[in-house]
């Protein structure tokens, strides 16, 4: 579309995990030091027994091979186990399938090597080139015209891949109509953005995500009767100004722009907006109207992304 500054690769959700499937590995201990060996990481996370680790080490020394290659040849580990350990060594944390601490919709946390997450990384790279500035306010609003177009999905997973890049990342749920981020990250929703803006809570409403290093979430909080008025106050701009001092990147989830005026208001407060469209659902006319509306409010549109799921 001509009014947009660019478009990004389409994102297709590939949800193949069975949430009820048991895991023999147990829950990962996610803060293992980056200096740990692959064997130590896998033993500590329950993916490998100490006895088998010693067996692999002995054969590794005898044959002069790498630990992972030796373990796979013995049938004691899989390629996925080795990728898991390497991700811990390089602080690119993700969760094993048996861990149900977060929603399985957070595919960047559970399926980091899937084609869908590779597209999210491509999107992240394009944003880093077109938008990110280490010296500037890096606040990105995720907007779309209608409901069920994937704003929350894109916002949450994009925040995760930014945090995996080593950026101090904050995800704000500014959808004070139908919030979802507290469900995706399995957080309480009593204290959040609405209570901060109403003066009933402070910065302690920002929740760290222990299993994902560098990621924090500010949930929406209780749904207020006056979301547009709350977000239109100077308090919201002041809150963003204080938060940019603490985080490298802030990603904001928003309500449907064609239904609620605060979406464009949020985008104007941010440093940029990313438009989300959904294949076979989003209307071209609505996307063009949203783009024009963002331009009229002075919001900077950095591009668009097509959800294909």
Q: What secondary structure does DSSP assign to 15-36, as a single string? A: ----TT---SS----TT--TTS
166 and 249 share a domain? yes
- Within a domain: residue 65? yes
Domain co-membership, 79 together with 113: no
Same domain? For 120 and 246 the reply is yes
Q: Phi and psi dihedrals of 170, rounded to 5?
A: -120, 130
Sign of torsion over alpha carbons 284, 289, 293, 296? positive
Question: Over the Cα atoms of the chain, what is R_g?
Answer: 21
Same domain (yes/no): 81, 132: no
Confidence of residue 1 (pLDDT cuts 50, 70, 90): very low
Are 57 and 151 members of one domain? Answer: no
Last residue of a domain, one of 89, 123, 148: 89
170, 217 contact by CB (below 8 A): yes
The answer to whether residues 144 and 265 belong to one domain is yes
Mean pLDDT of the chain: 85
Residue 250 lies in a domain: yes
- Structural domain of residue 130, as residue ranges? 107-307
Separation between Cα atoms, residue 145 and residue 291, nearest integer Å: 10
Domain count, the chain: 2
Lowest-pLDDT range of 134-138, 266-270, 297-301: 134-138
pTM above 0.85, yes or no: no
Where would I find the beta strands (DSSP E) of the chain? 139-143, 169-173, 207-208, 215-218, 249-253, 272-278, 301-307
Residue 278, domain CATH:
3.40.50.300
pLDDT digits (tens, 9 = 90+) for 123-157: 999 999 989 887 788 999 999 999 999 999 999 99
Cα 170 to Cα 251: distance, rounded to the nearest angstrom = 6
Same domain, 249 and 166: yes
198 and 167 in a common domain = yes
Residue with the bigger pLDDT between 159 and 24: it is 159
What confidence score (pLDDT) does residue 141 get? 98
């Amino acid at each position: 579309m001509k009014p947009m500054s660019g478009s990004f690769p389409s994102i297709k959700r590939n949800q193949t995990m069975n949430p009820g499937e048991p895991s023999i590995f147990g829950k990962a201990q996610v803060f293992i030091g980056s200096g740990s060996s692959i064997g130590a990481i896998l033993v500590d996370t329950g993916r490998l027994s100490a006895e088998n680790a010693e067996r692999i080490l002995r054969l590794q020394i005898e044959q002069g091979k790498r630990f992972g290659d030796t373990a796979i040849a013995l049938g004691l580990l899989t390629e996925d186990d080795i990728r898991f350990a390497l991700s811990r060594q390089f602080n690119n944390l993700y969760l094993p399938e048996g861990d149900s601490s977060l929603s399985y919709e957070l595919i960047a946390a559970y399926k980091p090597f899937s084609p869908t997450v590779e597209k999210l990384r491509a999107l992240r790279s394009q944003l880093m080139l077109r938008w990110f500035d280490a010296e500037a306010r890096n606040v990105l609003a995720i907007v779309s015209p209608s409901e069920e177009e994937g704003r929350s999905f894109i916002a949450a997973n994009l925040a995760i891949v930014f945090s995996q890049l080593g950026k101090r990342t904050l995800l704000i749920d500014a959808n004070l109509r139908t919030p979802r981020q507290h469900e995706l990250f399995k957080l309480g929703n009593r204290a959040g953005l609405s209570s901060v803006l109403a003066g009933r809570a402070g910065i302690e409403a920002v929740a760290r995500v222990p299993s994902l290093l560098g990621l924090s979430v500010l949930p929406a909080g209780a749904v207020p009767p006056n979301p547009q008025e709350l977000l239109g106050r100077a308090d919201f701009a002041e809150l963003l100004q204080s938060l940019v001092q603490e985080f490298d990147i802030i990603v904001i989830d928003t309500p449907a722009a064609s239904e609620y005026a605060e979406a464009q208001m949020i985008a104007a407060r941010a440093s940029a907006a990313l438009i989300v469209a959904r294949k076979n659902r989003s209307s071209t006319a609505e996307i063009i109207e949203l783009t024009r509306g963002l331009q009229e409010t002075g919001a900077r549109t950095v591009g668009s992304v097509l959800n294909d799921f």
